[in-house]
Every structure is written in structure tokens, then in C-alpha cells.
A and B are shown apart, each in its own frame.
Chain A
Amino acid sequence: MPDPGVQQQLHHLYSHHYGWLKAWLRKKLSCQHTAADLAQDTFVRLIIADQKPLPEQSRAYLTQIAKGLMIDLYRRQRLELAYQEWLLQLPPVETPSPEQQAIALQSLIQLDKVLDQLPAKVRETFILSRFEQLTYSQIADQLGVSVAAVRKYMLKATQACMELL
């Protein structure tokens, strides 16, 4: 439970800026329901975060979070669409069940986040190995690094997958 001071501060932020933030998001998104959802999520993030903004920076801070959430949403929607497109091409008998689809999509979104946090070479190494079936020697050749480096990158990426996937 947050202490009363923090709670009061959140209440203040919410009552003074929620409506404004929703209107701001709506202008950006042109869909009022998504705007309402994102405005809500923005405050959820704010509650989770340790730091709270200074009063004069409140709106800048909230829009900063909201922009990040819009990027996430945009990215998630693109992944979701790519996944749906892929499903469309499958013969009906191979279509996974809704549960499988949900897990796959969730895994895709998480993988995107995981790889996003890794250095470019680590990310590329992992994709070449796991999705293009290259051997470590082939990856080493392609990226111009040693096989030992490839192994090290793979360890790092796999570790990140274990933590977040």
C-alpha cells in the first residue's frame, strides 16, 4: 500500500490530468476507446513506478509515459497483424487452437521485447540461429566474429529469454 502522501499525490494527478491526457491521446489516436485505455494504463504505470513527477512537470511526464505506451501498442498491433496474416496462409488443418495462438502471440510480443533490449549483434545472432537455422560457424562468418563470440551472444540472449519469455 502506498503511503498516504503518495496516494494523495496520485489522486491529485488523476483528478487534474486524466481528462486532459485522454483528450491528448484521442487527438493522437483518433479512437476514443483506445485513448481511454491508454490513459488508464499511463496512470497504472505511474503507480507502479517509484518516482513521482514534480507538480510542474506532471503533464510532460504523463505524455512521456503515454508516448511509450503508444509505441508499444503500435508495435504490438503490427506483431498481432503479422501473426494473423501468417495464420491466414495456413491450411485449415494446421491452424493452431485459440490457446496455442494466444501463447504464440504472447511469446512473439515478449520475444520482441527481449530482443529489443539486447545489443544489435546479440539480437542478430539469436535470430540467425533460432529462426534461420544457421550453425554457429555460419553465423560467425556472416557477422565477422569468432565462434566463441557467437556462443557468448547466444548465452546472453538465451539468458534474457529465460528471464522474460
Chain B
Amino acid sequence: MNQHSTINLVTDYARLQQEALEWQVMLWSGEVTADQQHAFEVWLSRSDAHQQAWSEIEVMQQKLQLVPQATIGLVREKLPSAKRRRLLQMLGLAAVAGGTVPVVRQSNTWQALAADYRTHTGQQEKIRLADGSQLIMNTSTAVDIVYSAHERKLVLHEGEIYINTAPDTTQSRPLLVQTRHGTATALGTAFNVRLKQHETRVSVYDGAVRLRSDNGLHSLTIASGMQAGLLADALTKATRNSSESAWLDGRLVAEQLRLGDFLDELSRYRMGVIRYDQTVANMLVSGVFPLMDSDRVLQSLLQALPLRIHYFSKYWVTVHAA
């Protein structure tokens, strides 16, 4: 492709973006006629590029819809904005201020919202799958179930699941769990899969599981009692299981765990945020705690460690050194 036509493509797309914007403004009027609606649909169906431009608008629109009306009163209040604007101009920062990384693209969040099965914070759920396999979902988990003629696939978008597989008597299709880091294929098995930011951790309790990194270059079979981490382009060494499955009994087990890691773990089961100072992050915690009663866990920490816990609201907790 020569340079000239590339430039044309770019400017053409910018024009489509502008058109999409104008359509959105028209559709928001609350007074759309059938003709206008039809004209929009014709526009949208013209090409993939039209649809692409429109999908950008939709992403923005979806974000807007997440903003509760109840909070708009504050936005309306024009606090010290003139002052801030002057300041931003002075620093040439207006663009930077709005240039934070969009949250949406960092994770599979949108897929997660649309997943087949999901649990909310602090919720766990047992599901019996069509083939008799048992799926237990931990807190904040989203899974798609994709059974086809040649495989039984679970797509884990976020969170943690435990699977007790039933043999596929009729078709002997493999059962596998897919995450953004790769796949774990069951070889007659009970196993736990937890999707974390940088890896997918697979712990095996019965039988064995074959791991394959997303780029297809690395694979490893781990046996019962062992675990390993699956990365998009690598695998970690297999190590012995510790207490990864304690959540199935509603327990959080800490053995000389850093307080920072402990609080991160606890906050998975708790609405809102738990923040902590770096000065307390390295204190060590040991014990067995009830997962579903995080308030009690926080209170018991106060007795064991020199801490101060501050509640801005029930959903916003900070932990400081005493």
C-alpha cells in the first residue's frame, strides 16, 4: 500500500468517527423519527469500518451508563475548577489529566460482565454441568461454558474455580479450562484454577492436568498434590500444594503470610476497598480465618498486630500502623 492511500484511509476513518459522533447525538435527542432511525441503520450497515467507528461510541456510552445518577449532583457542583483549569494550562497538562489508561482495555472486564456464569464479591456457587462435572465458583468469578462436539471448554474470564470432572461417557471429549494465559486440560481430575493478573495458577487434587501456555510453546503435566503457574509465554516450575483449596471450606489459611498479601486476599471477598500503608505490608500473619466474615477478620488482626483500622465507610477501609 502506498503512502498516499494510507493517509486517505486514516482521514476516511476520522470522518467516520465524526459521523458516528453525530449519529449518537441525534439518537440521544429523545425525539428520533422512524426515518432518522432507518437512516442510521443504513449508515451503520455500510461497512465494517462504519461498525468499528460506532463500536467506539458504544464503549463510551457504556461507561456513561455505569455512572449512577445519584452521584451527578457532585459533578454539577463547580468547585474550584477555574483554578484547576488555570493550573493545568500553566503546566500544559490538560491532556495528561485525562490521559489515564482506560480500565476497560486492561482486562477482560467486558467479557466478564457478559459471561455465562458469574459470582459477585463474597459469593460462591456450585454448578452441575451438563456432563455431570461439578464446577464450584469462588468470589468474583466469571466463566463461559462452551461444550462442543469435540471438547468441553470452560473459559475463565476472572476469578477462581474448582472442577471435579466426570468422565465423558458418550463421546470422551477432553475437558479444558482456558484463560488469557493458556489452557489446562483435565486428565481425569479434580483441580483448582485461579486467574491472577500475571498468571493462572493451577493446583491438582486428583489425577493430573496438562498445562499449555497461550503461545503454544510450553507444556507440562502436573500430578495430584502439585501446582504450577501458567503464563502466556512460559510455565513456572511445579511446586507442592499448600492451602489453595481452603476457600472451598470458607477458610483463609495464612502461614507466615505478609499482611499486604493477606489483605489483598481478604479484599477479594469483601465489597469495596481495603488499603494499607507500606509500613504495615511486611508484618506477618498466621492463622485460619473465616472468609465470609471479613469484618471479624479485620477486628481479629487488631488484637494480633500493632495496627489501626480506619473506616471511611463500610466499603472503604484503610489499615495503618498503630
Contact = CB atoms under 8 A, between A and B. Distances in A.
A83 B29 CA distance: 27
B73 to A, nearest CB: 8
A102 B316 CA distance: 13
B218 interface: no
Contacts of A45: 91, 93, 96
Interface string B13-40: 0000100011011101111000000000
A158 B67 contact: no
Interface string A136-164: 11100000000000010011001101111
Contact of B316 (A81, A97, A124): A81
A103 B25 contact: no
B76 A48 contact: no
Please classify the interface of chain B as helix (H, G, I), strand (E, B), loop, or mixed, using the class held by over half of its residues: helix
Please classify the interface of chain A as helix (H, G, I), strand (E, B), loop, or mixed, using the class held by over half of its residues: helix
Given A33-B277, A88-B315, A99-B109, A161 B64 contact: yes
Given A50-B92, A81-B312, A87-B271, A136 B30 contact: yes
Given A64-B87, A78-B74, A84 B313 contact: yes
Q: Please name the 9 residue pairs, one residue from A and one from B, whose CB atoms are nearest each other, closest first.
A: A135-B30, A164-B98, A104-B66, A107-B63, A68-B87, A49-B91, A82-B71, A136-B29, A116-B81
A131 B69 contact: yes
Contacts of A81: 312-313, 316
A22 B90 CA distance: 22
B103 A163 contact: no
B272 interface: yes
Interface stretch (B113-121, B161-169, B228-236): B113-121
B217 interface: no
Interface string A89-106: 100100111111011101
Nearest to A161: B60
Interface residues of B, number: 66
Contacts of B75: 79, 108, 111-112, 115, 127
B94 interface: yes
B140 A99 contact: yes
Interface in A41-91: 45, 48-51, 64-65, 67-68, 71-72, 75, 78-89
B292 to A, nearest CB: 13
A115 B113 CA distance: 27
B71 A127 contact: no
Interface of B: 17, 21-22, 24-26, 28-31, 56-57, 60, 63-64, 66-76, 78-81, 83-85, 87-88, 90-94, 96-100, 102-104, 107, 109, 112-113, 118, 120-121, 140, 158, 271-272, 277, 312-316, 320
A27 to B, nearest CB: 19
B271 A95 contact: yes
A75 to B, nearest CB: 6
24 contacts: A49-B91, A51-B92, A65-B91, A68-B84, A68-B88, A81-B313, A88-B313, A97-B112, A97-B118, A97-B121, A100-B109, A103-B103, A104-B67, A111-B64, A114-B98, A131-B69, A136-B30, A136-B31, A151-B26, A151-B29, A154-B28, A158-B28, A162-B56, A163-B98
A1 interface: no
Contacts of B94: 117
Contacts of A138: 30
Nearest to B83: A71
A165 B68 contact: no
A33 B25 contact: no
B109 A154 contact: no
A40 interface: no
Given A81-B312, A162-B60, A98 B70 contact: no
A130 B64 contact: yes
B215 to A, nearest CB: 26
Contacts of B109: 99-100, 103
Given A161-B60, A165-B60, A108 B67 contact: yes
